[in-house]
Chain A
């Protein structure tokens, strides 16, 4: 498979007010292939968010390069879609108009994408809610809308910054599986940042574990669980091995697979 998004020898330093430099991430080499689902895990403060900010070209790295389909990426592009921790919907627009916002913002003809928007909403189980206002929806439903909004303009890569972190555990599990279903139909490359080892393993083709600050790639683990994934896989020994290995990398301790579940 061809490489889609590539972080190449990339470092990011921040100038602190005290005059010191803070190195957030260091020597990052990550390649995400076309259609691959990669999750990014690590202790808090390891620079996961920094990497996403660089990937969305909100920030430029101090050293190294970001490449998309082989070309250096130096300005924000619609090729990179974003799903944030919060849904960030416009409260004065109904659901379908929120999904269509990117089309409008890109200056494309909205009427042509209306069908696509309806199909996407149906795909995430929001058929019949097209005209609802965001404040009439639950947090999980709002996040589904924001996923549709990211898919409508067909970016090559989807960046997801702990998109389910603000949701309750049940909704979170449900949405994770739903995301996999959408992903299997749309075959985007996904870079998914999470704090949850379970989420990280269950969703991913590959889990990239970052070390504590400055964040470096501590491990790049291919998850060989069969697809489609299900929740029941959490109780398989394979899953247990992956989870234990990652937990050990993050905490630096050897614990049973369920010690922190």
Chain B
């Protein structure tokens, strides 16, 4: 598929028209039910009430949104750098793989929520603990996917490079790493929502800002509308980051995006 068919503006609406229509319909139904059955706002607010409340508190939300977005993005970058580095080590050294793999699986098996209080204890209530938590929650799929990608070079291609006496570092840069790119992006797509979870969990356990903190505070004061509002903003943040990864994938691996179109 050529890259020129617009990514922005009307075409994105047109392409997702049916999904958007279903969304609107669902929200309308939700709104109608809440009004007809007279569900109290503290239990399940109607979408219109959520919008109203978010609009009323609009000056309050951006600092929280930016705080969370900052944590998520930094945590994601941490996961990406750490994940790819560990993947490279795993792929290049079988010994390292034997040592690192069990540790990774152990770490992955620890519920990150359980890790949160300890991390807060160690690095404090500030930004660092949230970034760390987001990073740790998200880096597993990046390691798994990028190491798989580096290892899934066709055997014939490796035979060819061997017969040419290519240095393994060159094979790594010119063959293994680019080969891993589509896999890496697959891992990143899984990692985006995970880093969001990590950051919010961190905020739940201890913080004074962020959308997670907002959810916690307003649910304790029974302002359910704002809790829902924060939740939707979180979801939108996740979607935006997800689509940023998709756009990056299209730019960096056009050969692959063309195949899945």
Q: Which residue of A lies closest to B179 (CB)?
A: A90
Q: Which residues of B contact A56 (CB under 8 A)?
A: 159, 163
| Docked complex Cα distance between A68 and B171 (Å) | 26
Task: Let me know if A86 is at the binding interface, CB within 8 A.
Answer: yes
What 0/1 pattern do residues 56 to 84 of A give for CB contact below 8 A with B?
11100000000000000000111010101
Pick the residue among B162, B165, B175, B259 that contacts A90 (CB under 8 A): B175
Q: Which residue of B lies closest to A82 (CB)?
A: B160
Task: Let me know if A106 is at the binding interface, CB within 8 A.
Answer: yes
Task: Let me know if B170 is at the binding interface, CB within 8 A.
Answer: yes
Task: Let me know if A153 is at the binding interface, CB within 8 A.
Answer: yes
CB neighbors of A among B157-182 (8 A): 157, 159-167, 170-171, 174-175, 178-179, 181
CB neighbors of A among B162-220 (8 A): 162-167, 170-171, 174-175, 178-179, 181
Q: Which residues of A contact B254 (CB under 8 A)?
A: 133
Interface Cβ pair total, 8 Å cutoff:
63
- A82 & B156 in contact (Cβ 8 Å cutoff): yes
Task: Let me know if B222 is at the binding interface, CB within 8 A.
Answer: no
Choose among A76, A82, A92, A102 the residue with the greatest number of B CB atoms under 10 Å from its CB.
A92
Pick the residue among A58, A76, A105, A135 that contacts B171 (CB under 8 A): A105
| Docked complex Cα distance between A91 and B181 (Å) | 11
Q: Which residues of B contact A80 (CB under 8 A)?
A: 163
Query: What class of interface size applies to chain A in its complex with B?
Result: 20 to 34
- A105 & B161 in contact (Cβ 8 Å cutoff): yes
Q: How far is the CB of A8 from chain B (nearest CB, A)?
A: 21
- A76 & B159 in contact (Cβ 8 Å cutoff): yes
- A105 & B166 in contact (Cβ 8 Å cutoff): yes
| Docked complex Cα distance between A104 and B259 (Å) | 27
- B174 & A91 in contact (Cβ 8 Å cutoff): no
- A78 & B175 in contact (Cβ 8 Å cutoff): no
| Docked complex Cα distance between A86 and B156 (Å) | 9
Q: Which residue of A lies closest to B255 (CB)?
A: A91
Q: Which residues of A contact B256 (CB under 8 A)?
A: 91
Q: Which residues of A contact B163 (CB under 8 A)?
A: 56-57, 76-78, 80, 82
- B255 & A106 in contact (Cβ 8 Å cutoff): no
Given contacts A91-B256, A105-B174, A135-B259, contact A78 B165 (CB under 8 A): yes
Q: Which residues of B contact A86 (CB under 8 A)?
A: 154, 156
Other A-B pairs beyond A91-B256, A105-B161, A107-B170, 11, CB < 8 Å: A76-B159, A78-B163, A78-B165, A80-B163, A88-B156, A88-B157, A92-B181, A92-B255, A105-B170, A106-B165, A106-B166
Spell out B's residues near A (CB within 8 Å): 154, 156-157, 159-167, 170-171, 174-175, 178-179, 181, 253-256, 258-259
10 smallest beta-carbon distances between A and B, as pairs: A105-B166, A76-B163, A91-B255, A84-B156, A105-B164, A88-B156, A76-B162, A106-B164, A92-B178, A92-B255
Spell out A's residues near B (CB within 8 Å): 56-58, 76-78, 80, 82, 84, 86, 88, 90-92, 101-102, 104-107, 133-135, 153
